[in-house]
Amino acid sequence: MTTPSGRVLAVLGPTNTGKTHFALDRMLGHASGMIGFPLRLLARENYDRIVKAKGAASVALITGEEKIVPPRPRWFVCTVESMPLDRPVAFLAIDEIQLCADPDRGHIFTDRLLHARGSEETLFLGAETIKPLIRKLVPGIEFQTRPRLSSLTHAGHTKLNRLPPRSAVVAFSAAEVYATAEYVRRQKGGAAVVLGALSPRTRNAQVGMYQAGEVDFIIATDAIGMELNMDVDHVAFAQLRKFDGRVPRDLEPAEIAQIAGRAGRHMNDGTFGTTADIAALPDELAQAVEAHRFPALRALSWRNSDLRFASVAALLASLDKAPPGPGLIRAREADDHLALAQLAHDAELMAKVNHPERVKLLWDVCQVPDFRKVMTENHSRLLAQLFRHLIGPGRKIPTDWLAGQVARLDRTDGELDTIVARIAAIRTWTYVAHRPGWVKDPTHWQEQTRAIEDRLSDALHHCLTQRFVDRRTSVLVRAMQAEGDLLSAVARSGEVLVEGQHVGVLAGFRFVPDQTEGTLAAKAVLASAARALKSEIRNRLEELCRDPDEAFQMAEDASLLWRGQPVARLTAGPEMLRPQVEPLASDLLEPAMRERMKKRLSAWLTASLALAFKPLLTAQAAPLSGHARGLVHHLAEGLGSAALTGARDMIRALTQPDRQALARLGIRLGHDWAFMPALLKGPVQGLRARLWAAASGLPLPALPGGRVSVPLSAPPDFYGAIGYAVLGPVAIRVDLLERFTAQLRAKGDEPIRLTGELTAPLGLKADEAAAVLQALGYRQEADLWVAGARPKPPRRDRHRPDSPFAVLKNRA
């Protein structure tokens, strides 16, 4: 395509100089034009831009896997490898021309530098490092240097969790990209991911998510260094070594600058530095990147493009031809060259490559890219199969075979890496479908493979987003940064939605956040809920204060419920019968609101206790004598039952009218206990237990549940508070215990035999009954129980007033 006419111009400079924008403007100013980009992603991005400006009928897109060519296009947007150089155009441009030095693809760029020209104007865009070699290899070329539109400043090392918003983190392996993105998701809410293996559709979706502010971070390989348009303020290197397809190596300073230059867009300044385990860049290197000063390239990769197709041996020899002059070095063997060399060892196949047309066809097959990055032998095996089909009957790839290859890739299930592998594989068949004459009905197969790639791309975007983006946190953080009220709703179930995101449950006045992973996520959920629920909490408090007493109740754990939701708990008060109300801790309740709630709940609690303990409160208010009043006070301290130990004098001092008055008030005086039968059973017993728990500050033990005797499993004073007496290993309800001891006293000195008739009312087992008798002062002789815990004194001493026999007799 070389032509002696037309201006040839090299527009050189660092990133963010507007070179690409300048080239597109120049191209659209000509009647026809063609521009080559280093990446399929870039070609598609700029094609879409031109289509918006000039319409789809005027623009063609040509890449290895995508061809959109209207009947009469004026401008062609291509990848450098796919430029149709046999088509004359007035304007021609090559972007990132410094890639001539790339050991793998450089020979393609060098060929375009030496031979591709527009009839009126040719532009080469790139870094200044290539300037001396271009001057030597392209006589008469003009140069234009464009300064960076914004400054680029070294910021040193920054920890991953302290990276500023709108940062790009750069790594050089999928594993490192994924690990970094996972960490950023936990710490910052999420990140977009850009890898060279992504399809344009997936990449655009990921970048679009970042550009829209749904996430503030992007984790990428050096794919972002090739003019992908993103608003990045800071670039942080998580790695400074990459695998270049053959060996791991350190990044060149110019490569660091190319990637770091993504920071800052247009007139906005940018910063760059390191992160993760990478130390800060050396001062000399950092200053070179800031000033865009790097050593000039010493040589460009070259491969002979004037190939001979007389035989496979002749083709291989022409590929091995030495460079024609200084400044050029022989390119590293590319994938197509390696594939051809591998196939040349297949004697059966070589027997079929028996004339130049078949040699040319074999070379075309060898240029099918190894998108899957599989071992050379596996890729070569596929190429051999393709070649055999293309020289077989019909000279086409069999439709049934192609359909089977494509169909097995039309699945969107599987893990992230599986979907990436399927996209790479379907790209192979998209490339094949675009090769002229290789398949029947190419339009059908191009549409089919493109549709499968789109489905896989959407699945990959979904998979990446699901794995590396906490969408809820991202939405909440973005909403919190904006002014105004948050859109919120509380369902009847208590589910809280903020900006359409489930953030937790509102239980009463307490917000229970949904489970989160990472500090930022937890803070975002709590902060957004606190801001969004202010009006809801105010409304709930007003409703609580207005609601009738029926809206409240006390739960089994002594918490106070409003409309079935816990809102407060009981705490110790001045008396067990006068507990305090403590609203449950909640960041949503202001001090004044807590006091209003406390006042309303205290009023309800007072009324509830007055109803439940009405017999006791009636007795307290009755006009009784001093001794009777003292006994009632003793009962009130025990919530309706009290041991008479230590109160014998008070009992003996009661007059007959006092006893009658107490009986009318429902108070029963036993031998060892005073009690009110109405307060020993049912719900009141449970209420007494909760009042004890509030006063003691201890967890609520298990209640007897209707049993009149239970094995000990709680502090003794708990049983006293619920109307049970502790005897040995069991606690017995005091009313039935009094009945039992009365039966024992009625027997006098008569030995007692334990029978079911005697112990059944107490629900005691034989060993428990024996322990109870022992606790009551009885001892066992044979199978009988005798009053008195010590041996009987001699008969002559039995009538002494201080004898054990006399003491036991008096007690009986």
The predicted structure's pLDDT at residue 374: 63
Specify whether the CB–CB gap between 134 and 105 falls below 8 A. no
State the amino acid at position 146 in one-letter form.
Answer: R
**DSSP H helical ranges for 482-613:** 519-532, 534-546, 591-612
How many residues appear in the chain?
812
Place of tokens 């008469």: 140
- The CA distance from 571 to 659, in Å, is 36
- Local structure of residue 242 (DSSP, 8 states): E
Q: How confident is the model at residue 539 (pLDDT cuts 50, 70, 90)?
A: very high
Closest CA to 620 of 666, 583, 565: 666
- Is residue 533 pLDDT above 90, yes or no? no
pLDDT in tens, 369-407: 988 776 567 889 999 999 999 999 889 999 999 999 999
The predicted structure's pLDDT at residue 376: 67
CA torsion sign, 570 to 572 to 577 to 583? negative
Least confident among 3-12, 82-91, 212-221, 732-741:
3-12
Specify whether the CB–CB gap between 32 and 89 falls below 8 A. yes
Q: Give the chain's radius of gyration (CA, Å).
A: 46
- Is residue 1 pLDDT above 70, yes or no? no
The predicted structure's pLDDT at residue 111: 96
- The CA distance from 156 to 152, in Å, is 12
The predicted structure's pLDDT at residue 804: 39
When the pLDDT of each residue in the chain is averaged and rounded to a whole number, the result is 89
- The CA distance from 310 to 340, in Å, is 15
- The CA distance from 533 to 776, in Å, is 61
pLDDT in tens, 565-576: 999 999 999 999
Specify whether the CB–CB gap between 149 and 267 falls below 8 A. yes
3-state per-residue secondary structure call for 408-476: CCCCCCCCHHHHHHHHHHHHHHHHHHCCCCCECCHHHHHHHHHHHHHHHHHHHHHHHHHHHECHHHHHH
- Is residue 470 pLDDT above 90, yes or no? no
In this prediction the pTM is 0.69
Place of tokens 């809410």: 189
Mean pLDDT in residue range 39-59: 92
Specify whether the CB–CB gap between 627 and 653 falls below 8 A. yes
Question: How far, in Å, are 484, 542, 566, 580, 691 from residue 597 at the CA level?
Answer: 29, 9, 12, 13, 20
The predicted structure's pLDDT at residue 716: 92
Least confident among 689-698, 748-757, 783-792:
783-792
Pairing between β-strand 778-781 and β-strand 33-37 as defined by DSSP bridges: unpaired
The predicted structure's pLDDT at residue 669: 93
**DSSP H helical ranges for 116-252:** 131-137, 174-188, 200-211
Mean pLDDT in residue range 709-736: 93
User: 3-state DSSP call for residue 512?
Assistant: strand
- Is residue 486 pLDDT above 80, yes or no? no
User: 3-state DSSP call for residue 753?
Assistant: coil
pLDDT in tens, 118-147: 999 999 999 999 999 999 999 999 999 999
| Neighbouring-strand partners of residue 642 | 674
In 10 A of CB 542, how many CB atoms? 11
Angle at 90 between CA 2 and CA 93, to 5 degrees: 70
- Is residue 4 pLDDT above 60, yes or no? no
The predicted structure's pLDDT at residue 647: 81
Sequence-ordered list of residues with C-beta below 8 angstroms from that of 648, at least 6 positions apart, any chain = none
CA torsion sign, 352 to 358 to 360 to 363? negative
User: 3-state DSSP call for residue 368?
Assistant: coil
Least confident among 4-8, 294-298, 730-734:
4-8
The predicted structure's pLDDT at residue 645: 85
pLDDT in tens, 657-667: 999 999 999 99
The predicted structure's pLDDT at residue 316: 95
- Is residue 810 pLDDT above 70, yes or no? no
Closest CA to 92 of 145, 142, 26: 26
Q: 166-170, 225-229, 239-243: which has the highest mean pLDDT?
A: 166-170
Mean pLDDT in residue range 295-302: 95
The predicted structure's pLDDT at residue 751: 84
Q: How confident is the model at residue 199 (pLDDT cuts 50, 70, 90)?
A: confident
Mean pLDDT in residue range 54-61: 96
Mean pLDDT in residue range 710-723: 93
Percent of residues, the chain, with pLDDT higher than 90: 65
Question: How far, in Å, are 20, 137, 228 from residue 46 at the CA level?
Answer: 9, 29, 10
- The CA distance from 595 to 589, in Å, is 10
- Local structure of residue 700 (DSSP, 8 states): P
The predicted structure's pLDDT at residue 238: 95
- The CA distance from 532 to 516, in Å, is 18
CA torsion sign, 451 to 454 to 456 to 459? negative
Mean pLDDT in residue range 299-322: 95
Percent of residues, the chain, with pLDDT higher than 70: 94
